[in-house]
Structure 1
Amino acid sequence: MAGTSEVLPWDLGVFDAHCHPTDTLASLQAIPGMRAKVLTVMATRSEDQHLVADAATRMGVVDTNSSSEEDFWSNEHKIIPAFGWHPWFSHQIVDDSATSHSVAPTEDEKVAHYQRVLVPTPEDRDLLLSLPDLLSLSSFIEQTRHYLEQHPLALVGEVGLDKSCRIPIPSSDEHQRNRAADATPGGREGKRLTPHRVSMSHQQLVLIAQLHLAGEMQRAVSCHGVQAHGVLFDTLASTWKGYERRKLSKRERKTQEVQPANGSDGEGTTTGGEKPYPPRLCLHSFSGTAETVKQYLVPSIPCDIYFSFSTTINGWSDDGQGKVETAVRAIPDDRILIESDMDCAGKDMDAHLEGVIRKICSVKQWDLEAGVKQLGSNWMRFVGLSTSNGQATL
């Protein structure tokens, strides 16, 4: 079991599974000096997709098919990007699936869209016209596909569902004066909130489109879920319905040992090809119960579910017997990840990563060396990497 005075073995590799340093662009210069080995950097909205892409172009982990181990793990290559649309901003996406071409919406169409997707239905036309311009779902999916093609190691994220989030009032002059000068535009920080939320059906529409893209591209997903554990599970499950794993009979197993049929993975599903669900998904800063954990560990689920934890979001108890700790104990050792969920890179991010490692090692009764190795191995598998003779490989 980890001791509080034991030095964290950073050299074994510490990996942040979910963070947002492009929200504070000036902090990116601190990344090469961080003790964490790799940051998994999330995009969330229109203003930061290209920022994440640019950061990955400059500091992204190099494709291991064309690099040495030294290049792969260099201080200059410490980012794996993720491209996605966060549920907080899902009202800005318009469903254009019923149209044959993309046309910029008129003012009336913009108002009608926001009245359809926001609850309770807003009547203030001036408010609705002041909300951000709309982006078609098909355009966003194509843009994201392009980024994923450009960055072969990229994930899909941050995506998800959120029942509690109210949309903010657009920035006022006062808000612009008070906001951090180096904060990326489009965020929610410091804004006053309206009484309106994005309907769950619209959030699900945006989420499912991104899950299908992740399945098509065979990329892992980082998923947000707040006060929506039941509907989130149902939404995810709808994407793998009909693809569930089943236990093979002795005769089927024997047949596969001789000649695997149609790329079967040995569990009654087929590998390769397009699927409507991602191969792996992480529930970030997981806030569910141990019972919710068990729901995601049913052997028939064909998507490997991971659970990540932070000290910035998760509410750890003083006595180690709280809801978070109980959930951690219910998670298999090979499905736990750690994250900072911070919007500023640097020493504070490292400190939060160390803090959550120590929390998990304490709950799991791991010593620090074993814990860091386990968490690092988990992250490698989650993002689609593996280790061979100590070198990361695709």
Structure 2
Amino acid sequence: MYDESEYDGATSLSDEQKVSHYQGALTPQSHDRDFLLALPDPQPFGQFLSRTKGYLLQHPLALVGEVGLDRSFRIPQPWLPDRAEQRDDSLTPGGREGRQLSQHRLRLAGEMQRAVSVHGVAAHGAVYETLAETWKGQEIRVMSKREQKRVEAEASARAQGESPETQQNALDLPGAALAKPFPPRICLHSYSGPAETVKLYTAPTVPCEVFMSFSTTINHWSSEDDRSGKTGKVEAAFQALPDDRILIESDMDTAGDRMDEQLEAAARKVCEVKGWELEDGVKRLGANWKKFVFGNK
């Protein structure tokens, strides 16, 4: 995608503009004109936002995602005529489909006002800084115990001198649910970052709810053989996360038996590491999922 405001509102790019666009987006910069022209034509970002907004209005419970940063991502080589017959049609369209990866990596990020699924690989610090920038200046102020007692006493004193109707009206003041520049709920999917970053996301000053999901397909859990009494990186991050912020996932794009099997495997692994009874753990995970998707409705 490209920002059409940089091209006088153009709805498409010329070959020269396309080459220039990809030279600015790819690392390392490519001077292979044929390679750059063989990449998909960039689309106007405004059209993408408008289309996405339409989807969100049409589907009020839809989430946004995945968005995020991926420093390890590389663009597949384009399909050349002599390689097209080797294309693996059984794989998801739009992915590698058997192609070799080029040396180029694409940087992209996004955010919209809805619960979001965030992807982060080899960029955990950058992802946190990007998300934290959206709520900068709106952090929750943590009051001291003395301040809390004073506020509670003042509220109690006011309540005693007010009618029930006045108290209810105070709760219904206009603007209480105004849109904010950060998503209300975030899920960092198949989280693979360090425990220290978990603590940043779950700090009491963070004004949105941050969940983290775990899978057995992407996350590299320690086995009983190599653990040797020590906690692996995934387990350390997992244990640093509050119980009500844990989610599971299959990390698959097609529903069916395989997805169900992966979800079951993830649920069993989470319960094993947490020491939860399976039935209790599944109920907890179900409640967490509903909270992430629907909020506190």
TM class, shorter-chain normalised?
0.7 to 0.9
Find out whether 1:372 has 2:277 as its counterpart: no
For the aligned residue pairs, the C-alpha RMSD in angstroms reads 2.2
- Cα contact 1:175–1:190 (8 A) shared by 2: no
- What secondary structure sits across from 1:168 in the alignment? coil
The 5 A counterparts of 1:1-394 are 93-98=1-6, 101-173=9-81, 175-199=83-107, 203=108, 206-207=109-110, 211=111, 213-214=112-113, 219-248=114-143, 249-250=147-148, 251-253=150-152, 258=159, 260=170, 271-319=176-224, 321-384=231-294, 394=297
Structure 1 runs not aligned, ≥5 long: 1-92, 265-269, 387-393
Distance 1:256 1:166 in 2: 56
Q: Give the alignment's TM-score, normalised by structure 1.
A: 0.66
Distance 1:384 1:220 in 2: 9
Task: State the Cα distance separating 1:222 from its structure 2 match.
Answer: 0.3
- What secondary structure sits across from 1:165 in the alignment? coil
Q: Give the alignment's TM-score, normalised by structure 2.
A: 0.86
Letter of the structure 1 residue corresponding to residue 192 of structure 2: S
Residue deviations 1:104-138 (CA, integer Å, cap 9, x gap): 11111101100111111100111110000111111
Q: Which moved more, 1:97-106 or 1:157-166?
A: 97-106
User: Which residue of structure 2 aligns with residue 58 of structure 1?
Assistant: none
Task: State the Cα distance separating 1:372 from its structure 2 match.
Answer: 0.2
Distance 2:151 2:173 in 1: 13
User: Which residue of structure 2 aligns with residue 68 of structure 1?
Assistant: none
Structure 2 runs not aligned, ≥5 long: 160-166
Letter of the structure 2 residue corresponding to residue 280 of structure 1: R
More relative contact order in 1 or in 2 (CA 8 Å, sep 6+)? 1
Q: Which of the pair has more CA radius of gyration?
A: 2
Residue correspondences, number? 277
User: Which residue of structure 2 aligns with residue 16 of structure 1?
Assistant: none
Q: Which has the higher strand share?
A: 1
- What secondary structure sits across from 2:104 in the alignment? strand
Tell me: CA distance 1:274–1:361, structure 2 relative to 1, closer, same or farther (3 Å). Answer: same
Task: State the Cα distance separating 1:252 from its structure 2 match.
Answer: 4.3
Tell me: CA distance 1:262–1:253, structure 2 relative to 1, closer, same or farther (3 Å). Answer: farther
Q: Which runs of 4+ in 1 moved over 6 A?
A: none
